[in-house]
Amino acid sequence: MVDNARSTIRPPAPAKLKILATANDLFYTEGIHTVGVDRIIAGAHVTKATFYKHYRSKDLLIIAYVEGRDREIRDFFEDAEKRLSDPREILRQLTNRIGGEATREGFRGCPFINAAAQFVDPNHPVRQAVTVHRDWYSDRIEELMREMGHPHPGDAADDYLLARDGALAGGYVGDSIAANAALHRITERILAEAPSR
């Protein structure tokens, strides 16, 4: 008798992980459209056949890149929720994470906004992957606002997302320290609108 509960999921092939890791770095630092498949193949030290075995097209690799970035943020929330019971502290931790990202050396802006800017057709699969992420992110922030008892959770989530986008854009093209400080101030203003516990 076969125990279905013990069925195993095979981990991704090492070559597939190397391709994605290489693309993750190059797409983010140099731009999705400027990096060709041959450059990724060379950087990952795989053959062209191996690349196309795992990713039938560059677009599929780009989608995997966007989905990988999405998973990182979902993992952050999952970890924060395990450690912290207060939604205010989760939002503060998120703000610290965003601010840290915006002020780190080599920061090139929000990977989702960057990807969306390079795929103008809203029906393109890459653009749809960005939309899935942003919709989830917006819903998750609104849920945090609701959990903390904010009187206008949807508006507060919109304010926070706009501040987040501005901090990431300002962190790349402007004064990253000022952008980080502004994001923290806005976060505290939003939190002050919710009743204290």
Rounded-to-integer distance, Cα 144 and Cα 190, Å: 12
Task: Classify the phi-psi angles of 195: left when phi > 0, otherwise alpha if psi is within -120 to 50, otherwise beta.
Answer: beta
Q: The tokens of 170 are what?
A: 């300002």
Which pLDDT score, from 0 to 100, does residue 13 have?
85
Instruction: Write down the pTM of the prediction.
Output: 0.89
Which pLDDT score, from 0 to 100, does residue 7 have?
55
Cβ(66)–Cβ(126) below 8 Å:
yes
Mean pLDDT of 99-121: 95
The domain made up of 59-193 has a fold known as Tetracycline Repressor; domain 2 (1.10.357)
Which pLDDT score, from 0 to 100, does residue 12 have?
75
Q: What CATH number belongs to 12-56?
A: 1.10.10.60
Give the type of residue at 121: D
pLDDT digits (tens, 9 = 90+) for 129-165: 999 999 999 999 999 999 999 999 999 999 999 999 9
3-state secondary structure the chain: CCCHHHCCCCCCCHHHHHHHHHHHHHHHHHCCCCCCHHHHHHHHCCCHHHHHHHCCCHHHHHHHHHHHHHHHHHHHHHHHHHHCCCHHHHHHHHHHHHHHHHCCCCCCCCHHHHHHHHCCCCCCHHHHHHHHHHHHHHHHHHHHHHHCCCCCHHHHHHHHHHHHHHHHHHHHHCCHHHHHHHHHHHHHHHHHHCCCC
Which pLDDT score, from 0 to 100, does residue 1 have?
46
Chain region(s) in the chain for CATH 1.10.357.10: 59-193
Which pLDDT score, from 0 to 100, does residue 169 have?
96
Rounded-to-integer distance, Cα 150 and Cα 60, Å: 40
Confidence of residue 3 (pLDDT cuts 50, 70, 90): low
Percent of the chain with pLDDT over 70: 95
Chain region(s) in the chain for CATH 1.10.10.60: 12-56
Cβ(31)–Cβ(109) below 8 Å:
no
pLDDT digits (tens, 9 = 90+) for 27-64: 999 999 999 999 999 999 999 999 999 999 999 999 99
Which pLDDT score, from 0 to 100, does residue 41 have?
97
Which pLDDT score, from 0 to 100, does residue 197 have?
64
Which pLDDT score, from 0 to 100, does residue 8 have?
67
pLDDT digits (tens, 9 = 90+) for 71-85: 999 999 999 999 999
In whole angstroms, how far apart are CA 39 and each of 7, 19, 51, 83, 145?
37, 11, 11, 41, 43
Burial of 47 (0-12, 13-18, 19+ CB in 10 A): exposed
Whether pLDDT at 18 is above 50: yes
Cβ atoms within 10 Å of 123's Cβ, excluding its own: 7
